[in-house]
Amino acid sequence: MGFILAIFTALFFPGIILRVKSLASGRKGPGILQPWKNILVLLKKGSVISSTTSFVFRLAPSVYLATVICALLLLPFPGMNSSLGFEGDFVLFAYLLALGKFFFILGALDTGSSFEGMGANREALYSMLAEPAFFILFGTLALLTGHTSMHQIFDTFQFAGHNSFIIGFIAVYLLVQIAMIENSRMPVDDPKTHLELTMIHEVMILDHSGFDLALVHIGTTLKFATYGLLIANFLVPVDARQLIVNGEQLILNSGNGMVNNIGHGWIAVMQFGVYFIVQIVFAALIGLMESFRARKKLVRNPQFIVTLNSIALVAFILVLLITFKMI
């Protein structure tokens, strides 16, 4: 279910970002489906491939998209199991995305372009610096909940008390920032820039065209929806779900099965509604940040990313205090 909804979300996610940025600058802007119309045009075109490249360059877009899809299959939908979840699946999730990034970087280096090599170098550095924050965060959640499966972590974690709100806020903040870094968006990179000396992601796809370029854009869009699904798993109101379940139990005791089915329907409506609201707010937030936030200087980016690791460590220490495991 999460996989299907994430794909559906990806249909309007980039369009919402583009529309918010247009409205923030005083323009009407294109329709929400315009990015996918551009992708469909690219899918109909052939790819121009340099004779200096090898099979790695041709393989990179397909591997990039495939790893994003496989990582998406590991994510649960709030209240439901994932398609391929297991104990410690967040480790495989992170390294599937890393594998796609690895081939993407190899493809950029394979062109022999100094500009693409420069962008690949920055992409590798930023991903390496952001990776500890992700693992510290999920290690913290595993310690707090006692589970290592993402489905069990999200189902066990509840916003109940000041400490859980602090940890939940830190988790959502870190996931938003990691999503921006992994997708080369503000404040680390600017997708609108066309100056090779300051480009990161865009300079890495300069030699991709046609069908291959469409695969890269689809993978990037799905990766945004993937992180949105991670955030939605945190923000679904578990207590409200339990309240409805308790209400159903009272109805069952009274012998009214028809209303019980209605209760199950309301649970599903609430889950889907919160999921889409989170994704829309996430996309709108990206659009607003890219409209009113300047990109950081390149020399400041590593410091900013390393700061995320420190924030994740704060959550980890807080959980150690909560669980009385700090000596």
Q: What is the pLDDT of residue 263?
A: 53
Least Cα distance to 69 among 220, 178, 180, 274 occurs for 220
Look at 76-90, 104-118, 141-155, 168-182 and tell me which has the smallest mean pLDDT. Answer: 76-90
Query: In the prediction, which pLDDT does 325 show?
Result: 66
Average pLDDT over residues 84-88: 82
Q: How far apart are CA 281 and CA 16, in angstroms?
A: 9
Average pLDDT over residues 130-143: 91
DSSP string, 137-198: HHHHHHHHHS--SHHHHHHH----SHHHHHHHHHHHHHHHHHHHHHTT-TTT--TT---TTT
Residues 312/172, Cβ–Cβ less than 8 Å: no
Q: Of 12-26, 187-201, 238-252, which range is least confident?
A: 238-252
Domain boundaries, the chain: 2-322
Determine what percent of the chain is predicted with pLDDT higher than 90: 15
- Give the confidence band of 259 by pLDDT, cuts at 50, 70, 90: very low
